[in-house]
Amino acid sequence: MVDPARKEHSPELFNAIALRYDRVNAVVSFGLNGSWKRRVGGHLPSAKGLRCLDLATGTGDVALDLLRYPRVSGVVGIDPAEGMLAVARRKAERRGLLSRAAFVSADAQRLPFSDGSFDVVTVAFGLRNMPHPVRALSEAWRVLRPSGRLMVLEFSRPPFPVFRQVHYFYVAHLLPGLGFLMTGDLPAYRYLHRTIMAFPEAGRLGRMIAQTGFSILAREDLLWGTAVLYAGEKKNL
C-alpha cells in the first residue's frame, strides 16, 4: 500500500506499481492496451537507420516494440520512475535487445538531448501524467530532426452518448476496483480515472500537437474514441 498523500506527479506513484503494471494493464484493458501500443510502429517513416526516442516509456513496451522494425537502429526510452525503467531494462535483456535500447531517467518536459538528435519521438499514455504536456510536445519538436516524426497515443473519451456513459462507469468505478484488487493500491487507479477525465479529448489534443509545430499526418480513433493515436511531422520553421 502506498501513502495516499504522495504527490500526483511524482515518480513514486508509478514506482509503487511498476512490478505489477504490465499485468494489471493487460487485465483492466482486456489486452487492448498492448495492441494499441503495437499500432504506434505502423506510423514509422520508411527511411532506414531510424533513431527513436520514447517519452514516458514506463516499462518500455513501445520502445521495445519499435525494435521489431529493421529500419529502427536504436531506441532511447526516458521516464522519471526508476522502478518502471528497471522493468523495461529487464525486458530488453530477456529479449536480447539491450545493445539497441537504452532506458534513461529524465523528464520529458526538459529533455537532456541536443536539438535534432532523433528521427522519431513517441509517447504512449504519458502526456496525461505530466503537469505541462505542451512543454513535452515542444521538447519533442526540439529534439526531432527537420521533418521528424511524432506519434502520440493517449486515452480520450468516446463521443457517442451511450458508450460515453458505459466508458465513464468503467473508468470511474470498475477500473479502480480491479486495480485495487490486483495491486492493493486504490489511489493509483483513482489517479488514472482523474487523469483520463481531465486530459483534453482527442480533437483538442490534435490541436495541441498542431499548435506545437507538427503537421498531422494521421489520426486513429481506437475503440470508438476510448483512445486516439496521432502521427505528426515536424514542420520546419
**Shortest Å, Cβ 3 to ligand SAM:** 17
Restricted to residues 25-54, the positions that interact with ligand SAM (CB under 6 A) are 37
Beta bridge partners of 130: none
Q: Could you tell me which stretch among 102-110, 158-166, 179-187, 220-228 binds ligand SAM (CB under 6 A)?
A: 102-110
Cα 71 versus chain centre, distance = 21
**Shortest Å, Cβ 46 to ligand SAM:** 24
Burial tier of 78 (Cβ tally within 10 Å: 0-12, 13-18, 19+):
buried
**24 is a contact residue toward ligand SAM (CB under 6 A):** no
Cα(214)–Cα(208) distance, integer angstroms: 9
Query: Phi, psi at residue 62, to the nearest 5°?
Result: -70, -45
**81 is a contact residue toward ligand SAM (CB under 6 A):** yes
Q: Could you tell me which stretch among 93-101, 125-133, 139-147, 211-219 binds ligand SAM (CB under 6 A)?
A: 125-133
Residue 194: partners with Cβ closer than 8 Å, 6 or more residues away: none
**58 is a contact residue toward ligand SAM (CB under 6 A):** yes
Q: Could you tell me which stretch among 106-114, 175-183, 196-204, 214-222 binds ligand SAM (CB under 6 A)?
A: 106-114
Cα(191)–Cα(47) distance, integer angstroms: 39
CB atoms within 10 A of CB 216: 14
**Shortest Å, Cβ 161 to ligand SAM:** 27
Q: Which amino acid, 119?
A: D
Cα(170)–Cα(213) distance, integer angstroms: 35
**206 is a contact residue toward ligand SAM (CB under 6 A):** no
Count of residues near ligand SAM by CB under 6 A: 22
**Shortest Å, Cβ 176 to ligand SAM:** 14
**56 is a contact residue toward ligand SAM (CB under 6 A):** yes
Angle at alpha carbon of residue 96, lines to 93 and 97, rounded to 5°: 85
Cα(44)–Cα(136) distance, integer angstroms: 20
Cβ closest to ligand SAM, residue 67 vs residue 84 = 84
Q: Which spans of this chain sit near ligand SAM (rule: CB under 6 A)?
A: 11, 14, 37, 55-59, 61-62, 79-81, 84, 107-109, 124-126, 129-130
